[in-house]
Structures are given as structure tokens and as C-alpha cells.
Structure 1
Amino acid sequence: MTALSPYLSFRRYFLKVCRFFNHRGTMGDSEKLMAAALNLADSAFDLAAKAWSGDLDVTYKPDGSSLTKADLTIEALWREKIRQQFPSHGILGEEYGSETGSSAFTWVLDPIDGTRQFGTGLLNFASLISLCRDGEPVLGIIDLPMPGARYVAAEGKGTMFAGRAVRSSACSDIAEAVISLANPDSFRGASSEGYDNLRSAGRVRVFDGGAAAYGALTRGLIDVCLNGDDLDAYDICALCPVVQEAGGVITDWNGQPLSLASSGAIIASASPALHPKVLDLLRLSG
């Protein structure tokens, strides 16, 4: 970590997470998994920050999405670390695809989520790390290297931000909600009507916030996050524990749970009372 990093050293940060999760005594399997995930996040921090600050060389994939050397370098590093520590685990990453494992666990990785923003010198990009057990996301990290913000969550343990527990708001009235809407270009066909319905709702609307918006939801700053059809599992899985463990709800537009098999449009709400009201607005477009 650089001297300018607002993070604690890895060891101090991990011990803080263990205290937050009420861990005592010898490190168990869940703590080893969390330690590994935090180590992955730390290993990407400087690489992402230095790449962003340097001379960015942006190329484009066949689908038109942006690609930088940092995407490839970080994911390759992560994969090597996971293979060394957990050789039986599967891996799914945006840049290098899927490696099937022999255990119930699969790591789901997006080294630079928001490469479009990253490659244009904007700040709302993230590194996303998730661990799925039997396809269900049970650990998630949303890491924001440039502001030095990190959201960490594990199944049944709550969500942690800046060394403290965070909770989503109790908002239940969509008319009072702060709504984050993804890039309008990501809403295609029928989903564009759902986008328009939510764009006309709420008290305040913000746009194209990326993974950072889902983190802000866990702090009670945003009440609804909407994304369109262009998501894959590596965009989705890390968000799920972070939102759910803070008291929020995250599903597809039909209200179905998200998993390693998920892709496409998703919606997150700050409370169980708000979520069905948001889904009703989306279904008006059906």
C-alpha cells in the first residue's frame, strides 16, 4: 500500500474485520476466506490507483466495452493467488473466463468494474471480489481505490465500511427515495420503460454511479439502485452480500434472488418494505 493510502495495513485491517465479525481464537475457515479476499483487494489497490494516475492505454473488446492493461494485470494476479491458496476452488472473472473447481466455492472477480469510467479518468470505478458457495454469493467486497473506500460483507456478519457497521435506510416511500440509475445506454427494449418509470419517481436522482452507488445504499445515502441489461455475474455477485447484510434487498427485475448464474438487469432497495413498490414500478413496463 502506498503511504498516501487511507487503508490500514493488511494485517491491521484484517484484525479490525475479525473484531467486527466478533471473531475470537484460532482462525477458522471463514476467517481464512475473508483474509484471502482482503488480501486480493489490497493487492489490486496500488495497481489500479497507479494505472489510473498514469498514461492510460484503452483498447476495446469485440462487444465495444473498454479494456485496459490494469484489468488484465489485476485479474491475472488474483487468479494466481487463489490457485496457490485454494487450488480446488473455481474462478470466474471478466477477463479470463471460467475455471471449474472441485469444491463448492467459486471466486467471482471483476478487477476494474467501470472500465469505461476508469479509462476516461473518472473516479467511479471499483474492484469487485465475491465468493460463492454452491452458486450463492456469501462474501463480497466493493473496493474503491481512488477515494480509498472499502465495503466488506460476509454471510450473517453484516456489512462493514471504514471500520464500522453500516445499515441501509428504512425508507419505505418511493416518493421520498434517493434513486441511482445506471447509464441510460444499458437499458434496452422493454427495460427502457422500467428505466423511464423510475426516472420519474423519487425525491432525488443520480446517474451512472456504478458499484459505488450500491455501497452508498448500505450507508443510507441512496435508497434504490437500478442497473440494466448489460450485467454479468462478475458485475453482480459482490454487490449481493454487501447490500443484503446491510439490511437491503437485491434481486432481478422479477424479484428473483441473484446467483453465480445471474446476468442482466438488477434492482436494489434499501428496505424490504420499499422493494416491492420499486418492482411494481418496473412491472408497469411489462
Structure 2
Amino acid sequence: MRLLFLGDLLGRAGREAALKHIPELRAALKLDFVAVNAENASHGFGLGPDMAQALFAVGADAITLGNHAWDRREIIPYIAQEKRLLRPINYPPGTPGQGSALIPLPDGRKVLVVQAMGRLFMDPLDCPFRTTEELLSRHKLGVTTHAILLDIHAEASSEKMAFAHAFDGRVSSVTGTHTHIPTADHQVLPGGTAYATDLGMCGDYDSVIGMQKEGAIGRLIRKLPGDRLTPAEGPATLCGAFIETNDATGLATRIEPVRLGGRLAPAMPKL
């Protein structure tokens, strides 16, 4: 199976890059499945239902969120109905929406997508290890699903790496989101799980993690809240990872970075 996971869409630049390139990448890489983290898609904070619908329309199969899940309040009734839109699985019981989805493909295969959120330097939530372990006790590669993709939305690289090693050999991939900087550690772990600490963002890299430079710099220098941060709107780099799995086991055989457009050096897998 060939899968693509795109990192955080940041504002208009990130949205438009994803909407433009997802159909092209589905064809060029012969993709079976596309997942996108879109928690920053609406002016850098949250996701609107119309934006989710547009991403699904161009070929996204699943959308994950994160700590900005509820910044657009109108997403709350939408997420209760749209099972392909995921918030972190370790939110408290009773939180709207779901943290995982078993999504069927047209050929009958199924992909389980899971999002967990880290706790180091983040909001105090339920344990992502425990909640993910409980879910995986009910799903097994090659039995209930043909691939399992975990999005670990976290600040600390150590927590992301520990999370990946904890579930190595039981899932197809663990890829990090949230810090907006693509890491160079794409690898298949010893147990067969593809891993990257952070996929990076889909957005304008002539910025401070996607936000206009002046406001972000001013906040750090003066320690004053200042104006609301606004997304940079220059040419976007689309960032993510291409993952290929063994059809028999569901484990990864390769993971490679995808970078397209904008300021960063391009990277595209060869088939």
C-alpha cells in the first residue's frame, strides 16, 4: 500500500498548496491513501467545516487536528458527524468527535488512522500511550486492518520518539506533527514501523513556523502579547512523508520525505 501523510496545513498558503497538489500526488505516486493534519488551516488556528470538505473533495481520506482542534467552534457539530475528521484520542471521555477511524478503501482494504497528543509542554491530557494501547488491543495489522497510521501531535521530540518505539512492529507508521519543521530522521524502525519526528508544515517557510515574522519577533523581544499572529502568505512548501507498506504484514518497507514548492529543497520519492 502507498500512503501519504501531510504535515500541518498553515493558513491560506498551506490550504491552497494541499488543494492543488493532493490530486497530482495521488496520480504521480499511485497513492492508495492520503491523510492530512489541518489544525492550523483556518488563519493558523483551527479548521472550518468548509475547509475540511474541500480537502476531502480533492482526495484527502482522513484529516487530523491537534491542540487547536476547537479554535473554530463550528467544527464541533461537524466533527460529531464526519468520522474521517479526528481530534486527539486522549482527550477526556465525552469530548466531541473521535480519535481514530477505520476507513475503507474502494478495493475493500481498510486503514486505521489514529491521532494522539503529547503531554510534555502541552495541555494536561490523558496518557497518549495508554489510550493508544487500549485502541490497539482491539486492532491488529493483517486482521482488522491493512495499515495503521499514528499521528503524534507533540512538542517534544523525545516524547514522539518514545511513542514510536513503544508501538514499533504493531503499526505501519508513527509520524509527528505540531512543530512545523520537517526533520531529517525518516526511517523504518527495527520492528517495521515507519517513523519521522515531524512531517513539517505545508505553508510559507519565510516566516516563524508559518506566521508573519514581525509579530512573532516582537512578541519574543518585548514579551508583550501584541496583535494576533497572522499566517505568512508567500509561496508554500508542501511537506509530508510517503510511506509504502507490505501488503501481507501491513508493516512499512520505506518512508521518504515529500517536499514540493516554496523555499525548501524539493524531495520526491521515486517509484
Does TM, normalized by the shorter one, top 0.5? Answer: no
Structure with greater contact order relative to length (CA < 8 Å, sep ≥ 6): 2
Higher helix share: 1
TM-score (norm 2): 0.29
